[in-house]
Chains A and B, each alone.
Chain A
Amino acid sequence: MQPFNYKKARQAENAVALVTPDAEASYLAGGTSLIDLMKLNVQTPTELVDINPLPLSKIEMQSNNLRIGAMARNSDVAYDAIIQKRYPVLSEALLSGASPQLRNMATVGGNLLQRTRCYYFRDTSMPCNKRVPGSGCAAIEGYNRIHAILGGSDRCIATHPSDMAVAMVALDAVVQTRGPNGARSIPLVDFHLVPGETPERETVLQHGELIIAVDLPASPNASRSHYLKVRDRASYAFAMASVAAALDIQNGIIRSARIALGGVGTKPWRAYDAEKALLNQPANQAAFQAAANAAVAGAKPQKYNGFKVELAKRTIVKALTTVGGMA
């Protein structure tokens, strides 16, 4: 691991002031992704500003939303009583991700910024446009079983690995940040970028901009929600396909639907077309199947991940069937 300078920040303003001037400086939160990648020399910050002492770990109801502090640990969010009751999809997503040890370390802000698990990104002997812009993509012609079928470009097809972010995208979450140019509110669905021509740019964050909190709007139908994750092992594995689904059903008719996908997109993938297909339809298998077909209509599978198209569809139908049965 490359050596680095280390500083502890006690307040958010202090943290922003420490990271902003140095282009090679980075925040250090839970460390579960960053330290892992530093050991592989994929990330080589020369200065780390430890933000663990920041007072940003509260989970609290505000007038119109639930505010989750950026430094709240994944385990604290997953087992929070309000979240389990009102946003079960988020609790389920968090508990389906990583291991208990990692969930005790990982933070909400860090989770949104975790890097892809693409093996070519993690192997510095291979080309990767995300790691070294312009070096090429080894995944497109390589072994791409775990890669994206939605949102890829001819530069990058790496999936975003987060489960939590998929649930939050379905819940219309808003990211609150503070940076060198002041405070910003960013809808999570706009927070991550598709790779396009610039796969090295993964989010809209500017250098030095710090995530303060994630807000979940009050939603009467979020309590009827579910996260379904399909993976190679029964537990402690990244998603091959996952679905966050929430439905508002009145008298058997779907009045609103929220669907997001994980494991199949280059970012946490909001399935707007699937939602549209469900609107004002009866909550039955035909509607769920139509939604699943709509969700993957634009899919571009690669040589080894064609199975993800059918897998995503079946996962969507099963998740919607479960939510539909919650009435």
Chain B
Amino acid sequence: MKFRLRRRRLGQLMLVSTVAATFSSFVEKTVAQTSATKTTPMLKSSISETMQVTLQVNGTKHSLQIEPRVTLLDALREYIGLTGSKKGCDHGQCGACTVLVDGQRINSCLTFAIMHTDAAITTIEGLAQGDNLHPMQAAFLARDAFQCGYCTPGQICSAVSLVNEGHAKSDDEIRELMSGNICRCGAYPNIVAAVRDVLEGKKDAAV
């Protein structure tokens, strides 16, 4: 009996506090609308509508019904099912999400899918030709250039682009131009060796 009373009392208290919170939030909103400072805007009804977005990924067209705020990374992983590109920091700092857009490496976490309807997107899944690995994939295997492997798809996409860009001539330049790809296992010496192998044309280093 005592217990039931307490529960009822607790319920009453909760009800009172909910009403108070609702009221104070209403007051806050009313005040906010008349004050000059910017507050989080009210959402317009049309704003969260999905849109038809067509992406060309690894040579295949995918038609998606998504909100504009879906990043390219989330479109690839959650809607198309290509989970090779990894979500690491999700703020462009780690490079695990690196993909190629029209041949150029970018962080797919810091761009919206809807921005890339006219582009050719290549992910780690698109690098091999059938059972034949891309030379950079083969070099990473040969040089043991990964441990846990989480950063590896981003490392390889980034390295493929680095070779195509043609600016790296030395190990120091490889390190500098791979600096957007973080590896928390610390496989860096072997990653540099793998990139160097491909730069020097040792494409069959894997065999």
> Would you list which residues of chain B between 33 and 90 have a CB under 8 Å from chain A?
37-38, 40-41, 43-44, 46-48, 51, 67-69, 71, 90
Q: Which of B17-25, B135-143, B171-179, B197-205 has 4 or more CB atoms under 8 Å from chain A?
A: B171-179
Considering the complex, give the chain A residue whose CB is closest to the CB of B165.
Answer: A100
Q: How far is the CA of A35 from the CA of B72 in the complex (A)?
A: 12
Complex Cα gap A287–B161 (Å): 45
User: What is the distance, in angstroms, from A173's C-beta to the closest C-beta of chain B?
Assistant: 25
CA of A28 to CA of B69, assembled, Å: 12
Q: What's the nearest-Cβ distance from chain A to residue B15, in Å?
A: 29
A24→B107 contact, CB < 8 A: no
In angstroms, how far is the closest chain B Cβ from the Cβ of A124?
A: 10
Stretch at the interface among B5-13, B98-106, B123-131: B98-106
Tell me whether A102 is interfacial, beta carbon within 8 Å.
Answer: yes
Residues of A within 8 A of B92 (CB): 32, 36, 101-102
- A99 with B180: CB separation less than 8 A: yes
Given A46-B47, A101-B92, check contact A134 B110 (CB 8 Å). Answer: no
Taking the complex as formed, is A48 at the interface, i.e. its CB lies under 8 A from any CB of chain B?
Answer: yes
B177 and A102 contacting across the interface, CB-CB below 8 Å = no
Q: Is the Cβ of B114 less than 8 Å from the Cβ of A104?
A: no
Q: Which chain B positions have C-beta within 8 A of A143?
A: none
A71-83, CB under 8 A of B: which get 1 and which 0? 0000100010000
User: Provided the pairs A6-B112, A46-B44, A235-B175 are in contact, do residues A102 and B107 lie with their beta carbons within 8 angstroms?
Assistant: yes
Contact B111–A105 (Cβ < 8 Å):
yes
A101 and B37 CA atoms in complex are apart in Å by 36
- Bound complex: CA of A31 vs CA of B101, how far in Å? 15
Judging by beta carbons under 8 Å apart, are B68 and A236 in contact?
no
- Is B71's CB under 8 angstroms from A35's CB? yes
Cβ-defined contact, B111 with A104, below 8 A: no
A105-B106 in contact (CB<8A): yes
Chain A binding site: helix, strand, loop or mixed by DSSP?
loop
Interface membership of chain B positions 108-119, coded 1 if the CB is closer than 8 angstroms to chain A and 0 otherwise: 001110110000
Q: Is the CB of B105 within 8 A of A2?
A: no
**What's the Cα separation between A6 and B92 when bound, in Å?**
22
The reply to whether B47 and A36 contact each other, CB–CB distance below 8 Å, is: no
Q: Are A79 and B167 interface neighbours, CB within 8 A?
A: yes
> Would you give the 0/1 interface string for A110-130, flagging 1 where the beta carbon is closer than 8 Å to chain B?
000000000000000000000
- Asked if B107 and A105 sit within 8 Å, CB to CB, the answer is yes
Q: Which range contains the number of A residues in contact with the other chain? A: 20 to 34
Q: Complex Cα distance A256/B195, Å?
A: 44
Q: Is A205 an interface residue (CB 8 A)?
A: no
Tell me, yes or no, whether A50 is within 8 Å of chain B by CB: yes
Q: Contact between B90 and A39 (Cβ–Cβ < 8 Å)? A: yes
CB of A1 closer than 8 Å to a CB of B: yes
Chain B residue numbers with a CB within 8 Å of A24 are 41
A101 with B46, Cβ < 8 A, contacts A6-B51, A132-B37, A235-B176 known: no
Residue B91 at the A interface, CB < 8 A?
Answer: yes
Mask of B138-150 contacts with A, CB within 8 angstroms, 1/0: 0000000000000
A44 touches B (CB below 8 Å) = yes
Q: Are A35's CB and B179's CB within 8 A?
A: no
Closest to A7 in B: B68
**In whole angstroms, what is the CA distance A235 to B158 when docked?**
16
Shortest CB–CB separation between residue A75 and chain B, in angstroms?
8
Once bound together, how far apart are the Cα atoms of A50 and B112, in whole Å?
10
In the bound complex, do residue B176 and residue A36 qualify as a contact, i.e. CB atoms below 8 Å apart?
Answer: no
Complex Cα spacing A132 to B111, Å: 26
Give A258 Cβ to nearest chain B Cβ, in Å.
26
- 18 examples of A-B residue contacts, CB within 8 angstroms: A1-B69, A3-B68, A5-B47, A24-B41, A32-B92, A32-B107, A35-B112, A46-B44, A48-B68, A50-B114, A79-B167, A98-B180, A100-B158, A100-B177, A101-B106, A105-B107, A133-B37, A235-B179
Extra contacts besides A41-B40, A44-B41 (19): CB < 8 Å: A4-B69, A5-B47, A6-B68, A6-B114, A32-B107, A35-B71, A36-B110, A46-B43, A46-B44, A79-B167, A99-B181, A100-B177, A101-B98, A101-B105, A101-B107, A102-B110, A104-B104, A105-B111, A235-B176
Sorted from nearest, which 10 A-B pairs have the closest CB atoms?
A99-B180, A6-B68, A3-B48, A235-B179, A236-B179, A104-B104, A101-B180, A3-B47, A101-B107, A35-B110
Chain B contacts to A: CB under 8 angstroms: 37-38, 40-41, 43-44, 46-48, 51, 67-69, 71, 90-92, 95, 98, 104-107, 110-112, 114-115, 158, 161-162, 165, 167, 175-177, 179-181
